[in-house]
Structure 1
Amino acid sequence: MLGPTEERFIRWFVGFSLLLGGLVLLAEAVAFGALQAAPLWAVLLAGIVTALLAVFTGIAEGGRRTPMAPAAAWIASVLVAMLWARWDPLGAGHAFLSGFAAIVAFGTGIGILRRQLWAWPVAFASVVGFGPVVLLIAPIPFGVVAGGFALFLADIVGLLALHRSYFESR
C-alpha cells in the first residue's frame, strides 16, 4: 500500500508526463503542419467535441454515478478519431486526431493531478494503447520512439501502483 507521499509523487509524475505529452503532441502537429493545413471546421469540431466531453464529465462527476461513463466517452472519442484519421490520412481526419489527441492527453493529465476517477482509465488507455500506436506509425526517429516507450512503461507502472487509491472507497 502506498503512503500519501508516494501516491502524490506518482500521481504528479504520471499527471505531468501526460500534460507534457499533450504539449509535445500539439507542438508536433504544428511543426508538421497538420493543424495549419486543416480545414477550419475540423479544428472547431475538435474544440466542440472536447467542450461537450468536458461538460459531460463535469455533470457525471457531480453525482454519485460511476466515473466509467465519462472515461468511456473520452476513450471512445479517441478511437473514433483514430478511425477517421485512418480513412482520411491526409485530410481533416488526421488533422482532427492531431489536435484532439493532444487535448485528451493534456486534459487527462489535469484529471490525474486532480485525482479525478474518470482520468485513470483514460490515462491507462493512453499509455497502453493510443500513445504506443501513435509512436509506431509517426515518422519520428528511433530515439524518440524508444524514449516514448520508456516513459509509457513508467506511466503504466505508476498507474498500476495508483489503482487501489483510485478505486477503493474514499
Structure 2
Amino acid sequence: MTDPNTDGVDGDSPPENDGHRFDRLPATAAEREVPGRPTRAEVVQWWEQRYGIPPATWEEHTFWEKGNGKLWAFAADVVSPIPVESLGLRILRTRQEHWKPSTDAVQRFGRAATENVVRLDRTEAERFARGEDQELPRWDGDWGYVIAAHEIADGVEPIGVGLYLHGELRSTVPKGRQEDLS
C-alpha cells in the first residue's frame, strides 16, 4: 500500500509527476526531485531566450506543473502540492521536443516580447485569427513557435502562437477561439 505522505514513492525511486495536482516547479536543477520537471530558472530563461521577455516579467509569479509538462503561472503563492483543478494561467507545454507557449500566455505576456514576433498586416492577421495557415516567405527570423501579432493603435498586440516552417505560418489558434475579424 502506498503511503499518501510520500507521494507514491517507495524510498528508492524518485518522486513521480502526479497529474491530479499542481506541484511547484523547483527553483533550480539542484532542487529538482521529479525527473524531467523543468525548473523555474529554465522556464524564465526559455521565455527570455526565445522571445526576449525580460525575467522581471515573472517576478510576481509562481510556476506549477500539472499533468505531464503542462505549466501554469500563478500571480500569488500557495502550498505545494495543491490538489485543485486549475491554478492561474496555463503558459507552456514542456516534456516534448520543442516547448510550446499557450495562446493565453502569448496574449497576456507577449507584449513584452522583442524576439520571434511575426508582425502581420490586417489581411494576414484576419486569416491567422480564423485558424488559417498562410505562406509568409518574408519572415527571416527563427523557425518554430512564434508570436503572431498585429499593430493596433500604435502598439503591437499579440494574437496567438504560430508555427513557422519552410516559409509558412501555421495558425495554432484553438478551434474554439478562432474568430472572423473581417
Which gives a bigger RCO, structure 1 or 2 (Cα 8 Å, sep 6+)?
1
Specify which structure has the higher proportion of helix: 1
TM-score (norm 1): 0.26
Higher-Rg member (1/2): 2
Specify which structure has the higher proportion of strand: 2
